[in-house]
Amino acid sequence: MTEFGIYVHWPFCASKCPYCDFNSHVRAGGIDEARFLAALRRELAHWAARRAQRTVTSVFFGGGTPSLMSAATVGAILDAVAGHWRVDPNAEITLEANPSSVEAARLRGYRAAGVNRVSLGVQSFDDSELKALGRLHTAAEARAAIDAARETFERFTFDLIYARPRQSPAAWRRELGQALRLAGRHLSLYQLTIEPDTPFAKLHAAGRLVVPDPEAALVLYEITQDMTERAGLPAYEISNHAAPGEESRHNLLYWRYGEYVGIGAGAHGRLALDGQRHAIANERQPERWAERVETLGHGALEMTPLSPAEQADEALLMGLRLGEGLDLDHLAAVGGLVPAPGTIDELMGLGLLEWCGPRRLRAARHGRFVLNEIVLRLASALEPALVPARVS
Ligand SMILES: C[S@@+](CC[C@H](N)C(=O)[O-])C[C@H]1O[C@@H](n2cnc3c(N)ncnc32)[C@H](O)[C@@H]1O
Ligand code: SF4
């Protein structure tokens, strides 16, 4: 696989949204940006020394809220990437931004620094819903940020959260219609997940926050598939929609089980080190991560060599999310294992899986709604591929 990505995690937010369990922290006293930049550069150098021969095809600044970084910091990180690796001239460089007016005003600076794609966390176009989600921006600011993104970048996308408390099919149709009128060629539509240990989880447990039941959520999901398909933005992954050719190159790399470096607090990476694929997970707490990098050169807490079965599990979990499906020959090449034909047939009989090429398997439309169960069934039925071919 030619794709090779760099993920940069900026673990700070202006405030913590009550539904969110991303590794994001609020620092009332301000952020020592110079210290975190120095640590990010040091961590990049560490991994570059071990995997210098690759060509970078995508960089993704995620968070947290990377749009709290100055354009100079973003530029310095991109310069460091280009100093260590060859960078594909068509590399996709994405930055996640919150749609407050302050952050929207920084978009030009990010473009000058080398960013060529922006992803805005819009979440809703309704002010009272934004308030209920704990967001700091208004719907008008979100629309203004989308306009600014469209003017500044050839490629932009935004996120919405649906299946929110009391959301009716009619209300979601209206909101999604509005989103599709404002969208570029990519859109991410996430169903609200009640994440453990969040304020939403406590309210939910106390019966004070009621989300649509699975049947109601399925109706909203079907509306989502129908409307986005008709608008020319079909799902290429469970929650991600794009015009053909406009998929996020960086996210495709994850789902196709490619190789990437993760830097920053709590970042994950998947790297072939001495021909063996490793899972790398960084310390999550930002200041402890920085200290670790300052002493060791990297912030990794775990560097785990992945067995063939673990690699097959991960590749299944990722690949089945995709509209293009999972190539069974690629799966066999990754871990030497493929799911037993009987289990595949059984899931096909239930209408949960379908073929989308001679050896390509994907979750059928209804299957995407119960993907975790499908992956568990297939992962428990892995057996040696007839012609196992290992790749590193
Ligand atoms: C790292 S966050 C995005 C960046 C940015 N901090 C923001 O919030 O605008 C990525 C996206 O995940 C989605 N998200 C986060 N928590 C979620 C949850 N509990 N349920 C559904 N979507 C969620 C939101 O749409 C969010 O924009
Ligand atoms: S949703 Fe975005 S802004 Fe809100 S806490 Fe999570 S990462 Fe931060």
Quick one: three-class SS letters along 179-225? HHHHCCCEEEEEECCCCCCCHHHHHHHCCCCCCCCHHHHHHHHHHHH
> 200 CA distance to ligand 1 centroid (A)?
14
Please enumerate, as own/partner, the contacts of 80-86 that have beta carbons within 8 Å and a separation of 24 or more.
80/40, 80/41, 80/44, 80/45, 81/6, 81/44, 81/56, 84/44, 84/45, 84/48, 84/52, 85/4, 85/48, 85/52, 85/54, 85/55, 85/56, 86/55, 86/56
State how beta strands 300-305 and 276-282 pair: antiparallel
Angstrom distance (rounded) from CA 369 to CA 309: 25
What band does 388 get if pLDDT is binned at 50, 70 and 90? Answer: very low
Dihedral sign (CA 45, 48, 52, 58): negative
The residues facing 280 across adjacent strands are 269, 303
Q: 104-113, 255-264, 350-359, 383-392: lowest mean pLDDT where? A: 383-392
Q: Would you say 141 and 116 are in contact if contact means Cβ atoms under 8 Å apart?
A: no
CA 214 and chain centroid, separation:
23
Under the banding of pLDDT at 50, 70 and 90, the label for residue 387 is low
pLDDT at 391 over 70: no
Would you state the structure tokens that stand for residue 233, as one six-digit string? Answer: 């933005």
Query: Would you say the C-alpha torsion 240, 247, 231, 159 has a positive or negative sign?
Result: positive
Closest CA relative to residue 331, chosen from 351, 309, 312: 312
pLDDT band at 252 (very low <50, low <70, confident <90, very high): very high
Pick the residue whose CA is nearest to atom 6 on ligand 2.
20
What mean pLDDT value characterizes the chain? 95
Q: Structure tokens of 168?
A: 């009716």
Q: How far apart are CA 11 and CA 266, in angstroms?
A: 8
Instruction: Indicate the top mutation candidate among 21, 107, 161, 192 to test ligand 1's pocket, ranked by most ligand atoms within 8 A of CB.
Output: 161
Cα–ligand 2 centroid distance for 103 (angstroms): 14
Instruction: Please give the Cα distance from 201 to 236 (Å, whole number).
Output: 29
This prediction has a pTM of 0.96
Q: Of all atoms in ligand 2, which is nearest to the CA of residue 135?
A: 4
**In this predicted model, what pLDDT tens digit does every residue of 275-291 receive, in sequence order?**
999 999 999 999 999 99
Residues within a 6 A CB radius of ligand 1: 13, 19-20, 22, 62-63, 65, 96, 98, 121, 123, 159, 161, 190, 192-193, 195
Name the residue of 10, 107, 160, 190 to mutate for ligand 1: max ligand atoms within 8 A of Cβ: 190
- Protein residue whose Cα sits closest to atom 4 of ligand 2: 17
User: φ, ψ for residue 89 (rounded to 5)?
Assistant: -60, -25
Atom of ligand 2 nearest to the CA of 123: 1
pLDDT (tens digit, 9 = 90+) per residue, 38-85? 999 999 999 999 998 999 999 999 999 999 999 999 999 999 999 999
The H-assigned helical ranges of 94-213 are 101-104, 107-113, 127-132, 139-152, 169-182, 199-205
Instruction: State residue 71's pLDDT score.
Output: 97
**Binding site membership of 57 for ligand 2 (Cβ less than 6 Å):** no
Please, which residues have CB within 8 angstroms of residue 131's CB and are 6 or more apart in sequence? Answer: none
pLDDT grade for 177, boundaries at 50, 70 and 90: very high
Half-sphere exposure of 82 (CA within 13 A, CB side): 12
* pLDDT, average across residues 174-200: 98
Q: Which residues neighbour 115 within 8 Å (Cβ) at sequence distance 6 or greater? A: 61, 74, 78, 93, 94, 95, 153
Percent of the chain with pLDDT over 70: 98
Query: What is the distance in angstroms between the CA of the first residue and the CA of the last residue of the chain?
Result: 10
pLDDT of the residue at 144:
96
Residue in the block written with tokens 């590794």: 23
184 prior amide bond cis, ω within 30:
no
Q: How confident is the model at residue 390 (pLDDT cuts 50, 70, 90)?
A: very low
- For 82-141, what is each residue's pLDDT tens digit? 999 999 999 999 999 999 878 888 999 999 999 999 999 999 999 999 999 999 999 999
Of all residues in the chain, what percent carry a pLDDT higher than 90?
91
Is the C-beta atom of 100 inside 6 A of ligand 2?
A: no
pLDDT tens column, 209-247 = 999 999 999 999 999 999 999 999 999 999 999 999 999
Strand partners, 96: 119
Evaluated on CA atoms 337, 341, 342, 347, the torsion sign reads positive
